C-alpha cells in the first residue's frame, strides 16, 4: 500500500509541477491545484514523521531521512502559488489575509523552509531525540501559519 500511495502522490505532483511550475499559472484554479498537490505531499511525509516522533511508528533511520528530504524539497514549492490573484477563492483553505499580509506570510513560509532544511540535516545524525525536537519546531511553525492564514 505504501508504494501505491507514493506512486499516486508522485504522479500527481509531477503532473502538476511539470505542467505549471515553470510556465506560471494560467488561472487561479491552476495555482490552487498546484499548491494543494504540494501540500498533500508535505502532509503525507509530515504525518509519517509525526508518527515516529510520537512513538506510534518505530524509528527507522532510512525512512525518516527519506521523509525529511522530501519535506525539505517540497517546502520550497507552494508559496508563489499562494500569491496568485483570485486563488484565495474557490476550492481552497487559503485566507485572503495571506495576500493582504504577503510579507508576513512569506516570512512564515521562509521559516518553514529553514526549519525543514534543519530537520533534514538533523535526521542525518540518526538521533531520534534531536529529530523530535526539530520536528516540534516545524510543527509550531505550521500551526502558527495555519492559524493565521488557513481556513480550518
Predicted pLDDT of residue 24: 85
pLDDT of 10 above 80: no
Give the mean pLDDT of 12-16.
57
For residue range 52-105, list pLDDT tens digits in order.
Answer: 999 999 999 999 999 999 999 999 999 999 999 999 998 999 999 999 999 999
Q: What is the rounded CA–CA span in Å between residue 65 and residue 43?
A: 16
Predicted pLDDT of residue 12: 61
Q: What is the rounded CA–CA span in Å between residue 32 and residue 7?
A: 21
| pTM for this predicted structure | 0.83
pLDDT of 21 above 80: no
For residue range 117-151, list pLDDT tens digits in order.
Answer: 999 999 999 999 999 999 999 999 999 999 999 99
* β partners of residue 150: 94
pLDDT of 15 above 90: no
| Residue 16 in grid coordinates | 502538476
Amino acid at each position: 500500500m505504501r508504494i501505491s500511495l507514493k506512486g499516486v502522490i508522485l504522479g500527481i505532483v509531477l503532473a502538476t509541477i511539470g505542467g505549471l511550475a515553470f510556465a506560471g499559472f494560467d488561472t487561479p484554479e491552476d495555482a490552487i491545484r498546484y499548491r494543494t498537490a504540494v501540500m498533500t505531499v508535505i502532509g503525507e511525509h509530515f504525518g509519517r514523521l509525526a508518527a515516529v516522533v510520537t512513538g506510534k511508528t518505530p524509528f527507522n533511520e532510512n525512512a525518516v531521512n527519506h521523509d525529511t528530504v522530501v519535506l525539505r524539497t517540497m517546502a520550497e514549492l507552494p508559496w508563489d502559488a499562494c500569491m496568485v490573484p483570485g486563488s484565495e477563492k474557490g476550492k481552497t483553505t487559503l485566507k485572503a489575509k495571506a495576500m493582504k499580509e504577503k510579507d508576513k506570510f512569506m516570512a512564515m513560509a521562509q521559516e518553514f523552509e529553514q526549519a525543514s532544511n534543519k530537520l533534514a540535516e538533523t535526521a542525518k545524525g540518526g538521533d531520534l531525540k534531536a529529530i523530535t525536537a526539530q520536528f516540534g519546531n516545524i510543527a509550531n511553525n505550521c500551526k502558527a501559519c495555519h492559524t493565521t492564514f488557513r481556513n480550518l
